[in-house]
Amino acid sequence: MKKAGMMVLCFMAGSLGLYALDLTLGGGIDLGHNAYTGEDWKDSLDDENDKNMFGFGFSIGGFCRAGFTDMFSIQGGLNYSRNSFKSGKDNDDWLKMSFNVISIPVLARFDYPLGDTLGLFLMAGPRMDFYVGQETESWKEGSTTGSDTSDFDDDFKAFHFGLDAAAGVALALGPGSLDLGLQYRRSFMKAYTDYKQYPWGIDLLAAYSIKL
């Protein structure tokens, strides 16, 4: 039975032209900025004389990458992120909403070698985000006016589908490869049912992978 299973796996790999499988060791880290965009969100900012402010976010996770050629592969991952969205008038008057998010990106990856130890990479594809918790904090005139961990509003969408794109350099390091680059995230779905407000973000990314 085991031999039959192995034969099936080998046949599937051969049929797909599967060339390699990369697995991260220790996962990856993203650090970046989050914000909202959309007509209703912009109107709300204008009405209150507010603006988007720097919303810090971080993400950690791991991925598997299946290569079809030396230059093309498909990468699937599982990440946990903490994303903060901040808006207000200045550093003495703002509102911040922070979310815990589980993400599943599935990305097509293109690698272009520049030598034996250096290359460029480009990744793009869909991502699914599952919002699993939130915290709201506000600040006014030098003191906090409240910090609250609560359930989502009834019209808040806890599931988001969007785009993930990244580009950078890949460096041969030890037994594997170190990726350094920039990543862009954008949800195609509104944060609230009847309100045109879309999450997006841009990150610095670092990930280490090793070939099995």
Residues of the chain above pLDDT 90, percent: 30
Residue bearing tokens 């999450």: 199
Coil, strand or helix at 9: helix
Q: How many domains does the chain have?
A: 1
pLDDT digits (tens, 9 = 90+) for 54-63: 788 888 998 8
CA–CA separation, 40 and 111 (whole Å): 39
User: Domain span at residue 46?
Assistant: 2-211
Dihedral of CA atoms 40, 163, 161, 24 in degrees, nearest 10, equals: -140
What CATH number does residue 82 fall under? 2.40.160.20
pLDDT digits (tens, 9 = 90+) for 134-193: 887 776 665 555 555 556 666 788 899 999 999 999 999 998 899 999 999 999 988 888
Say if residues 103 and 76 touch (Cβ distance below 8 Å).
no
pLDDT at 109: 95
- Assess whether pLDDT exceeds 90 at residue 104: yes
> Phi, psi at residue 12, to the nearest 5°?
-65, -45
Residue 147 to residues 58, 82, 97, 144: CA-CA distances in angstroms? 20, 16, 10, 8
